[in-house]
């Protein structure tokens, strides 16, 4: 019985992993292309909204998010989210060509660690999830623990966007990173929930109207979260290098998404102690990798400033 269940769930999970890998490469080009567009428009003295390269990065983000939607509904979020490390790798390579953000030995080692950590996470990832219908999803959304978590996230976002970002956003990268990462708690869980709600919303069954309301609510939450994320991502790219932002953003985004997913979908319940330790080790390796990428980026920026003299940071 257990063997047959695993065989039935393995194909969609495998498809979700492949979609996530492709989406990660597409998403990895997003920040680099948008940063390139911002720099080009700045030199011409026009808005980046009039730059074709920036729009190509925006299109990549849309396509990548569509891929993420499919991946999150075919495989557990704890599998899909860590695969974003591949996007960090591709983004670092692409930035070295388009933005001249060259990788030193530490940067290359960081990329390798990101890939190795992702493989470890996949090996020890759960094989199934416990939420399979819109009714069960509603129960999870109304759980006091998840409600409390959501309210705390909303409160923190309001404080960051209204008071902290205007004062410290351009001097501390963690402000923009924190805003975008916390919004991931809503974007990913909404994306995952949309797939479950859609099954009942468009089935024509007795609970379809209720499921449709849930579907529209999740869609609205996803749309608002994505728009706010999009705004603050571009604010960050106007002031910081794409490599640095993407590396730090990946670690914090993954952490918030895994936390929200663990609370709402309880995807950790099927994982034993050994697998938990394995996934923790994998995430640690990935975190070390992106940290090395950040150090590499900072070292490269310092070297350029030393060689060319004081200059204005992009």
First to last CA, the chain: 58
Question: Which residue range(s) make up the domain with 67?
Answer: 13-308
pLDDT value at position 77? 64
pLDDT value at position 99? 83
Give the integer Cα–Cα distance in Å for 203 and 125: 31
In a domain, 79, yes or no: yes
In a domain, 313, yes or no: no
Give the integer Cα–Cα distance in Å for 115 and 123: 13
pLDDT value at position 311? 47
Burial code of 173-206, b = ≥16 C-beta within 10 A, e = fewer? bebbbbbbbbbbbbbbbbbbbbbbbbbbbeeeee
Helices within the chain (DSSP H only)? 2-44, 52-72, 77-80, 85-98, 105-123, 134-141, 144-159, 165-168, 173-201, 208-239, 242-264, 273-308
In a domain, 148, yes or no: yes
Give the integer Cα–Cα distance in Å for 147 and 208: 24
Chain-centroid distance, C-alpha 213: 26
pLDDT value at position 7? 38
pLDDT value at position 122? 64
pLDDT value at position 78? 64
Picking from 296, 269, 279, the residue whose alpha carbon sits closest to that of residue 125 is 279
pLDDT value at position 262? 73
Residue 64 tokens, joined: 């990548």
In a domain, 159, yes or no: yes
Q: Domains in the chain: how many in total?
A: 1
Give the integer Cα–Cα distance in Å for 293 and 104: 9
Give the integer Cα–Cα distance in Å for 242 and 248: 10
In a domain, 1, yes or no: no
Give the integer Cα–Cα distance in Å for 83 and 75: 12
Contact 278, 124 (CB under 8 A): yes
Give the CB-side neighbour count of residue 204, counting CA atoms within 13 A: 0
Give the integer Cα–Cα distance in Å for 158 and 162: 6
pLDDT tens digit at each of 314 positions of the chain: 333 433 344 566 778 788 888 988 898 889 899 999 999 998 988 888 889 999 999 899 889 878 877 887 777 766 776 777 788 778 878 888 888 776 678 777 877 787 787 777 667 766 555 667 778 888 888 888 889 999 999 999 999 999 999 999 988 888 999 999 999 888 878 887 887 788 777 776 666 788 888 889 999 999 999 899 989 999 999 888 887 788 778 778 877 877 787 777 666 666 677 877 887 888 788 778 777 866 776 676 676 667 665 544 44
Contact 163, 169 (CB under 8 A): no
Q: Is 127 helix (H, G, I), strand (E, B) or coil?
A: coil
pLDDT value at position 5? 38
pLDDT value at position 3? 37
Q: At what angle do helices 173-201 and 144-159 cross, to 10 degrees?
A: 140
SS3 sequence, 266-287? CCCCCCCHHHHHHHHHHHHHHH
Neighbours of 226 (CB within 10 A): 18
Residue 62 tokens, joined: 């849309």
Dihedral in degrees, nearest 10, Cα atoms 251, 93, 107, 37: -70
In a domain, 2, yes or no: no
In a domain, 183, yes or no: yes
State pTM to two decimals.
0.77
């Amino acid at each position: 019985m257990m063997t047959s269940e695993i065989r039935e769930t393995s194909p969609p999970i495998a498809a979700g992993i492949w979609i996530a890998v492709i989406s990660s490469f597409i998403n990895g080009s997003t920040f680099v292309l948008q940063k390139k567009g911002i720099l080009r428009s700045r030199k011409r003295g026009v808005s980046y909204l009039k730059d074709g390269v920036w729009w190509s990065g925006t299109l990549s983000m849309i396509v990548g998010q569509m891929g993420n939607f499919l991946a999150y509904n075919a495989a557990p979020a704890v599998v899909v989210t860590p695969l974003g490390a591949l996007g960090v790798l591709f983004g670092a390579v692409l930035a070295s060509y388009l933005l001249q953000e060259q990788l030193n030995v530490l940067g290359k080692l960081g990329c390798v660690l990101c890939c190795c950590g992702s493989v470890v996470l996949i090996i020890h990832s759960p094989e199934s999830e416990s939420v399979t219908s819109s009714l069960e999803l509603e129960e999870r959304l109304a759980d006091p623990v998840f409600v409390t978590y959501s309210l705390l996230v909303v409160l923190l976002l309001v404080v960051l966007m209204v008071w902290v970002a205007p004062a410290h956003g351009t001097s501390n990268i963690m402000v923009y990173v924190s805003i975008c990462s916390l919004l991931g708690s809503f974007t990913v869980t909404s994306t995952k929930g949309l797939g479950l709600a859609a099954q009942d919303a468009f089935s024509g069954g007795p609970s379809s109207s209720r499921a449709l309301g849930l579907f529209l609510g999740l869609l609205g939450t996803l749309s608002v979260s994505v728009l706010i994320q999009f705004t603050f991502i571009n604010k960050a790219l106007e002031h910081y290098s794409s490599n640095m932002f993407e590396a730090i953003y990946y670690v914090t985004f993954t952490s918030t998404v895994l936390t929200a997913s663990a609370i709402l979908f309880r995807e950790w319940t099927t994982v034993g102690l050994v697998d938990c330790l394995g996934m923790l080790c994998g995430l640690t390796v990935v975190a070390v990798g992106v940290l090395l990428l950040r150090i590499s980026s900072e070292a490269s920026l310092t070297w350029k400033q030393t060689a060319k003299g004081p200059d204005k940071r992009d």
